[in-house]
Amino acid sequence: MKLVTTLSVLFVIVFASLVTPARADQLDPETSVDPAYELYGKAWAEPDAGARATFLAQVWAKDGQCKDPSVNLAGAGALSAHIGEFLRQFPGAKLTMTTKVDAYGMTFRAGWLLKFGDGKTPDLEGFDCGEWDGDGRIARIAGFLAPCPTTTR
């Protein structure tokens, strides 16, 4: 009897998933987050404010938030201005994505490497953790300016 009940419950779950529309948290990260994060990365390499704003307009949520140890801001305009200031301070800087986007639900993470290109500032390896909204736009990013710490046990 338990087997029949278990199979019945599984059937209802499977059937419901076939006829229920996908929720925002079930969007495919392969098709939604990777391209959004790629354009976000391109924005970090774009010195032209207009082109940078175009990239961010495609991927950044209206009130999207970005924070790391040096900044806490909201909105694509503030983010674009921050990137512009960074690129003015470090004109040779190049951000490279070092991992694919790893995502589940509405949460993602991705690794990056920042080479300053000035011969004086050491490269910086880090990662971003973020959330995206139901439209596939980046709603939040928290940048960590170093790899995850290791532990010795």
Query: What mean pLDDT comes out for the span 77-100?
Result: 93
The per-residue pLDDT for 147 is 87
Pairing relation of β-strands 71-74 and 60-68? antiparallel
Half-sphere exposure of 146 (CA within 13 A, CB side): 4
For residue 81, is it within any domain?
yes
67, part of any domain: yes
In a domain, 56, yes or no: yes
What is the arithmetic mean of pLDDT over 115-128? Answer: 92
What CATH number corresponds to the domain at position 64?
3.10.450.50
**Domain assignment present for 82:** yes
Reported as a pLDDT band with limits 50, 70 and 90, residue 136 is confident
Domain count, the chain: 1
How far is 114 from 44, CA to CA, in rounded Å? 10
This prediction's pTM: 0.76
Confidence of residue 4 (pLDDT cuts 50, 70, 90): very low
pLDDT averaged over the chain?
Answer: 81
**Full residue range of the structural domain in which residue 61 is found:** 28-144
